[in-house]
Amino acid sequence: MKRILVLLALVAFIGTYAQDEAPTVVFDQIMVTPNPSKVAEFHKAIAEHNKQFHSEAPRQVAVYQIMTGPNTGKYIWNLGPCTWADLDERPMDKAHNDHWANAVGPTLTTEANATFWEYHPELSNMNIDFKLNMLNITFWDIKMGMGNFDKVKGIVEKFVKLYHESYPDDNFGIYSNVMGSTAEGRDMALVGFMDKYADMAESNPDVPEKYNAMHGAGSYEKDMNEWVNLIQGSANEMWVFMPELSSRPAEVQVTQN
């Protein structure tokens, strides 16, 4: 993503689901904290768990290490993409639960955070195949207020329209936190997909000009001012995909052969 992230923050992973009349796509996500003295054991146990119990889609797992921010050093266990019905069929038998409790659990601290993220294809720009090598994520804390979520979506939709037409190869996904809280500050996430740190240097400086040309003179400034009033805060994190710990490949196929 070539800095729509920066433009909206001034102030996680799709599969091959069709975007028209598709079921809701979700991700089951847990942030875990390995015991600093047992990181190697954690790597071994989580890799075994994922490959033994989560080897087939749609219940495959991607594991990421968080590289920036206050959660640096923690790991993301991310199951999906799947539907709510798929989650009812995820492994929960004795063998699965015993392996987590006896092999994975002892390598972790008690600090953890679990939630579900819903993918919004209508707010995303997914046009070309990509890899989950690195995720550049902005979390937005939306102010409480009647209709604020829809107002935020309305502004994002305008940017998506612009990116569809002007930057079609600039993939990004929008997700909302299904089990979020007002205290957590992670209501919505914008996920940019990168191959390397050098991608951070890429930008689209002509976005304001093209935005005004598409949506009307002065619309960029007007919508950015409204954005400031709708967003209480934001946070950024960089996640790195850990293929040796995951049961899904890094490759994501968007286009149809």
The region of weakest confidence among 17-26, 104-113, 180-189, 191-200 is: 17-26
Q: What is the mean pLDDT of residues 127-149?
A: 95
pLDDT at position 6 over 60: no
Query: Mean pLDDT, to the nearest integer, of 107-124?
Result: 97
Nearest alpha-carbon partner for 174 in 206, 149, 145, 201:
149
Residue 15 has pLDDT above 80, yes or no: no
Q: What is the DSSP string of 173-191?
A: EEEEETT--TTT--SEEEE
Using the Cα atoms of residue 198, residue 121, residue 77 and residue 111 in order, give the sign of their dihedral: positive
**DSSP assignment string, 33-84:** EE-GGGHHHHHHHHHHHHHHHS-STTS-EEEEEE-SSTTTT-EEEEEEEE-H
Q: When comparing pLDDT for 15 and 150, which is higher? A: 150
Mean pLDDT of the chain: 91
Pairing of strands 108-119, 26-34: antiparallel
Q: Say what the pTM is.
A: 0.90
Is the pLDDT confidence value at 3 over 50?
no
Distance (Å, rounded) from C-alpha 28 to C-alpha 93?
17
Q: Where in the chain are the domains?
A: 4-252
Three-state SS for 13? coil
Q: Determine whether domain 4-252 maps to CATH 3.30.70.100.
A: yes
Q: What is the pLDDT of residue 256?
A: 62
Looking at the chain, list the stretches that DSSP marks H as alpha helix, in order from N- to C-terminal side: 4-8, 39-53, 84-88, 94-99, 148-166, 207-215, 219-230
pLDDT of amino acid 21: 62
